Amino acid sequence: MTQEAAKGETARRLAPRPPTHPAQGLATNPVPGAVPRQNPGQIPDQPPAQTPEQTADHAPGQVPNARAWWVLGMLAFVYMVNFLDRQLLSILAKPIQDTLHVTDAQLGRIGGLYFALFYCFIAIPVGWLADRTHRVRILALACAIWSAATAACGVAATYGELVAARMTVGFGEAGGVPPSYALISDYFPPQRRGTALALYNLGPPVGQALGIAFGALIAASFSWRAAFLAIGAVGLGAAVLVLLRIPEPRRGRLDPPAAPSSAPASPAATTRFWPATARFFARPSFVLVALASGATQFITYGAGNFTALILMREKGMSLRQLAVSYALVVGLCMGGGIFVSGRVIDRFTPRAKQAYALIPAVSLVCAAPLFVAFVWAPHWPLALAFLAGPTFFNSFYLSSAVALVQQDAAPNERVISGALLLLIMNMIGLGLGPTYVGWASDALRASHPQHALQWAFYSLTPFYGLAIALFLALARVLPRERLTPEIRT
């Protein structure tokens, strides 16, 4: 070989080759499995036009693109509307009781057991359906249903009509959160999901704060019925926005290439309902995190559904004071707790997976004495000062639980895995927590006529110990648990 020929051969070998990563948008060969042939120096073909689903993708790098943040903001807004609708009942408990003459126990059942029966169990088939079909359309339809049902609460003339409307709200809200969890996991890479899910989970505190502020102000200025009608209309507008502005991403596109299940999963990458459910319950970590979160929610929902009532009835707060002061505590402290928890999870879980359990356990240790102090405080200004602590620390569990399940579930089973997580923790917390507090308040009224609700709150304290013990048990399980092909596929 001549010197010139050798130089030419070396140049051809060292010449840059066209990148082959699909996320870089290069042309693919029209024949599956064939290798495109190019002459030396030939200019690569231009990429073909992308489908709407492909335009929703971005390269699985370290930094999510602008579209991902836009979608996250939209999903968080819908979650905010979700909680705004859901919390109206507890915020407006006293005027509703005055109008419809319902007891604490009836109020606890309508905000707890009756709502949870639809919300928890409908979420499972909805999650299974969303894993196989278009998640964005399911989310938009769910938002429309719960918003219309919220408006229907405003025209309820009897307790039975209010129960029917609230159960329909639960039916609609069942389709809101699980598809959103899965969408976020397909817009954000694993190392950013803790923060992304924490930002998404700011929806509840912002929704509660706005619900307290606007719901209480509208009720004070007009009536509690007007508050339900106005906020239901906002939700209907959000449903239309979701349908028009959120693209459906490809499932599992940002998962690590080495994972057995990280191959592109089409909507029909058949997720079988019962095998997927069995795989969830075969994971000790999934079951423990769901039970620990349920014990935590027993406190947060049990107390949360009656906090406005105890502040007004036993600590002397007015509806207008509630709209400002209580709204600020919920928005700032709960929102701050959820955001900080996501940042802490993203920092510590890459070093030790036990952090998914230890972080919420430590937060609950900090929250318990402050919760007791809140219940004891004789007047609302001191009570709100103490309430800021548990409102902040009680929120740490949520980002941890969701991030753990979304990280370890197979891409085409993330919606149903999220739905199963919500089923367990919400059936325990949302279904039984408010129901128990309402029952305990009525049961204690004979012996503590002026402070029955206060003693019902005191009785929630042992559940802090139960939740902490379950999270510590989870911390022992996580290092020993390894993903197997049978679990991930």
- pLDDT for the residue numbered 19: 46
For the chain, state the CA radius of gyration. 25
Which is more confident, 389 or 117?
Answer: 389
Comparing CA positions, the residue from 250, 272, 396 lying closest to residue 333 is: 396
CA pair distance 396, 404, nearest whole angstrom: 13
**Separation in Å, CA 387 to CA 363, 369, 458:** 14, 11, 14
Comparing CA positions, the residue from 430, 348, 439, 338 lying closest to residue 392 is: 338
- Spatial contact of 319 and 312, defined as CB atoms under 8 Å apart: yes
Q: Is residue 376 helix, strand or coil?
A: helix
CA pair distance 147, 235, nearest whole angstrom: 5
The whole-chain average pLDDT of the chain stands at 81
Of 93-97, 381-385, 440-444, give the lowest mean pLDDT range: 93-97
Residue 53 clears pLDDT 50, i.e. is over it: no
- Spatial contact of 191 and 294, defined as CB atoms under 8 Å apart: no
- pLDDT for the residue numbered 256: 67
Q: What average pLDDT does this structure show over 383-389?
A: 96
Give domain limits for the chain.
Answer: 64-247+270-488
Which is more confident, 16 or 371?
Answer: 371
- pLDDT for the residue numbered 144: 95
Backbone angles phi, psi at 377, to 5 degrees: -55, 130
Residue 30 clears pLDDT 60, i.e. is over it: no
Residue 473 clears pLDDT 70, i.e. is over it: yes
- pLDDT for the residue numbered 320: 86
Of 88-92, 96-100, 157-161, 452-456, give the lowest mean pLDDT range: 88-92
Q: What average pLDDT does this structure show over 76-93?
A: 86
Most trustworthy range by pLDDT among 192-206, 305-319, 353-367: 353-367
Say what percent of the chain tops pLDDT 90. Answer: 40
Say what percent of the chain tops pLDDT 70. Answer: 82
Residue 349 clears pLDDT 60, i.e. is over it: yes
- pLDDT for the residue numbered 196: 86
Structure tokens at 260: 């057995």
Q: What average pLDDT does this structure show over 166-184?
A: 86
- Spatial contact of 219 and 97, defined as CB atoms under 8 Å apart: no
Residue 350 clears pLDDT 90, i.e. is over it: no
- pLDDT for the residue numbered 14: 45
- pLDDT for the residue numbered 442: 94
CA pair distance 110, 125, nearest whole angstrom: 23
CATH dotted code for 64-247+270-488: 1.20.1250.20
Find the helix packing angle between 135-153 and 224-245, rounded to 10°: 170
Report angle CA 404, 407, 413 to the nearest 5 degrees: 110
Residue 59 clears pLDDT 80, i.e. is over it: no
Q: pTM of the full predicted structure?
A: 0.71
Residue 437 clears pLDDT 90, i.e. is over it: yes
Backbone angles phi, psi at 251, to 5 degrees: -70, 135
- pLDDT for the residue numbered 318: 86
Which is more confident, 204 or 341?
Answer: 341
- Is residue 255 very low, low, confident or very high in pLDDT (cuts 50, 70, 90)? low
- pLDDT for the residue numbered 108: 92
CA pair distance 422, 438, nearest whole angstrom: 22
> Does residue 316 come out as left (phi exceeding 0), alpha (psi in the -120 to 50 range) or beta?
left
E strand or H helix at 259, and its extent? none
Q: Going by C-beta distance under 8 Å and a sequence separation of 6 or more, which residues neighbour residue 447? A: none
Residue 171 clears pLDDT 80, i.e. is over it: yes
Q: How many other CB atoms are there within 10 angstroms of residue 279's CB atom? A: 21
251 forms beta bridges with 265
Q: What average pLDDT does this structure show over 386-407?
A: 91
CA pair distance 168, 115, nearest whole angstrom: 8
- pLDDT for the residue numbered 435: 94
> Do you know the residue count of the chain?
489
Structure tokens at 321: 């004071």
- pLDDT for the residue numbered 291: 97
Of 149-153, 258-262, 374-378, give the lowest mean pLDDT range: 258-262
CA pair distance 88, 106, nearest whole angstrom: 16
Residue 328 clears pLDDT 70, i.e. is over it: yes
Q: What average pLDDT does this structure show over 311-326?
A: 89
Backbone angles phi, psi at 165, to 5 degrees: -65, -40
